[in-house]
Structure 1
Amino acid sequence: MRYLVFSSLVVTSALSGCSLYYESQAKDMVQRQMDAMVFVEGGEFMMGNPGGWSVRSDTIPAHRVIVDDFYIQKYEVTQGDFELFMDVTNYKHSNNSYEILREEHPERFQPNLPAVVSWTDASEFCRWLGSQTDTSIRLPTEAQWEYAARSGGKMLRYATENGNAEEGVTMAPRPSQYREQKKTLPKPPGTFPANPLGLYDMSGNAAEWVSDYYRADYYERSPINNPEGPDTPIIESWSNEPFRVLRGGDFRDFSGNTTVTRRKAIERVTNESTGFRCSFSED
């Protein structure tokens, strides 16, 4: 594997007007985010459920995909870093769910836990990170995410050292009682061992946003080269929001819902089970 090293980053005018304290904190945060970028050598793989990895029909058929080289963060972005981004840019979260969740579940908003974000919030954080480093940073595509979770497209069912899921070893144990499940929190990024590419928590911590729109039948017509998802979204009727894709399952799921092929459709609102990591390609 290869790690991208950025030295002497210059934080741009997005920070103008901030206090020197926040400016210093933001520069350190940007450096830390970029230091966490892991190089993933592109290649060809069979994307989707090869059989027995999921019961969901939207994970089939397995289909040939080729992805180019890219970088992806080895950790999920934390709540503390997302809040610092909001402080230095005056960014306002994209919907009221954020404040409602924060009031109802303040324990989920601890600074060392995965960020509680909508798809829009996650996308804006990645875009801003790119603006600070002159890099086209964004959320990974579904294809990039799965390829990375499978350590370069290998036949690994979970994004773990050996491709297996073991509660308390590779992922947090899931409480058996529903009442206790509601109290469960994700773990700080990096709590459990990384997969062979050095990427952490891609199975069963926060469910991670990817850039693609969701369609259940997309795999039936996905292009081979660097697929980026459907061109048009499905719109949730009550919220008028497009469905996006979450990957990797979340901290309340049983292990079978945290496989590398698991897909979940959700409108792009804030949800306490979600998180994200950023990605970019060198053009």
Structure 2
Amino acid sequence: MNTQRNLTRFLPCLLITAIGMSGCNSYYESQAEDMIERQMDAMVFVKGGEFMMGNPGGWSVRSDTIPVHRVVLDDFYIQKYEVTQGDFELFMEVTGYEPSSRFYGKWRDENPKRYHSDLPAVASWRDAVTYCNWLGEKANEPTQLPTEAQWEYAARARGKALRYATKDGEAIENETMAPRRVRARFDESPVGSLVPHPPGKFPPNPIGLYDMSGNAAEWVQDYYQKDYYEYSQAHNPLGPKTPDASSPPGNPYRVLRGGNFKDFVGNTTVTRRKEIQNGAGETTGFRCGY
């Protein structure tokens, strides 16, 4: 982290200390209390029910989105918005948490635009789990990442036939989702320089959830296994009991859902992606639930 960013980051504490008020820890703890209340106020109640999970045909080209299978879920809560980089960094300041990816600081220095405080948090699965658990401890609720089944049920507005998690299930450029990305011409930004939007830019899906298609790819609790849908349990499935055999030792694959800002057609409510649990990239993000 460079000196200028360090100074900017700690300037509120320097000012508070200079005028004889409480120190840096008190400042961040006060900010964290407000953030916790705001995060919990943004939880959306989702009435449980039965739905057919997976790709009904034509929604995705990925073979791991089939077969369609019956799932029954209990009631749950899920956050209205993706957690922002600013809130994730505040959590790290208060707790002293270090990101699980050893390249986190290097990536941040190389691409500060992506790490703006208003954008979805750049976080690994491990980072996201730790944040959600901490939020739950502070709020006295069993907060965690949603399961894959909960995520899809919520994205599809309680299991409706919605290909995209938008206000009407349609993907319309600059109206319901960010525009499709193309390889740059002389008058366009290259794909590599793009960043997601601040959460909430486009209208929510029918139950009030934002950006579940096409902003950040969102972590869920489950291990990834390509054929899991062939044997998934029906009631409140928690995903495979063991990671995929192809996972790197000590760093199993987990599931990401919802596509990302570098895609368009693939940002469906059934799209799945795998990533190592300690991996954090510019397309990853998360939201909590319980």
Fold conserved between structures, TM > 0.5? yes
Distance 1:226 1:238 in 2: 28
Q: Tell me which stretches of 4 or more aligned residues in structure 1 moved more than 3 Å.
A: 235-240
Q: Does the Cα contact within 8 Å between 1:46 and 1:63 map onto a contact in 2?
A: yes
The number of residue pairs the alignment matches comes to 263
How far the C-alpha of 1:98 sits from its partner, in A, is 1.1
2:204 matched residue in structure 1: 194
What pairs with 1:71-220 in structure 2 (closer than 5 Å)? 71-177=77-183, 180-220=190-230
1:11 matched residue in structure 2: none
User: 1:256 and 2:262 equivalent?
Assistant: no
Q: Does the Cα contact within 8 Å between 1:73 and 1:199 map onto a contact in 2?
A: yes
1:49 matched residue in structure 2: 55
Residues 236 and 94 from structure 1, CA distance in 2 versus in 1: closer, same or farther, beyond 3 angstroms? farther
TM-score normalised by L of structure 2: 0.88
Gaps of 5+ in 1: 1-16
How far the C-alpha of 1:240 sits from its partner, in A, is 4.1
1:224 matched residue in structure 2: 234
TM-score normalised by L of structure 1: 0.90
1:14 matched residue in structure 2: none
Q: Percent identity?
A: 62
- 1:10-39 CA-to-partner distances (Å, cap 9, x unmatched) read xxxxxxx96221111000000000000000
How far the C-alpha of 1:237 sits from its partner, in A, is 5.7
Residues 115 and 236 from structure 1, CA distance in 2 versus in 1: closer, same or farther, beyond 3 angstroms? farther
How far the C-alpha of 1:239 sits from its partner, in A, is 6.5
How far the C-alpha of 1:177 sits from its partner, in A, is 1.2
Between 1:234-243 and 1:59-68, the stretch displaced more is 234-243
1:82 partner letter: F
Higher-Rg structure is: 2
User: 1:39 and 2:49 equivalent?
Assistant: no
Calculate the aligned-residue CA RMSD, in Å. Answer: 1.4
Gaps of 5+ in 2: 1-22
2:139 partner letter: T
Residues 237 and 62 from structure 1, CA distance in 2 versus in 1: closer, same or farther, beyond 3 angstroms? closer
SS of residue matched to 1:96:
coil
Distance 1:156 1:128 in 2: 33
Residues 70 and 18 from structure 1, CA distance in 2 versus in 1: closer, same or farther, beyond 3 angstroms? farther
SS of residue matched to 1:19:
helix
2:256 partner letter: L
2:283 partner letter: S
2:274 corresponds to which of 265, 268, 277: 265
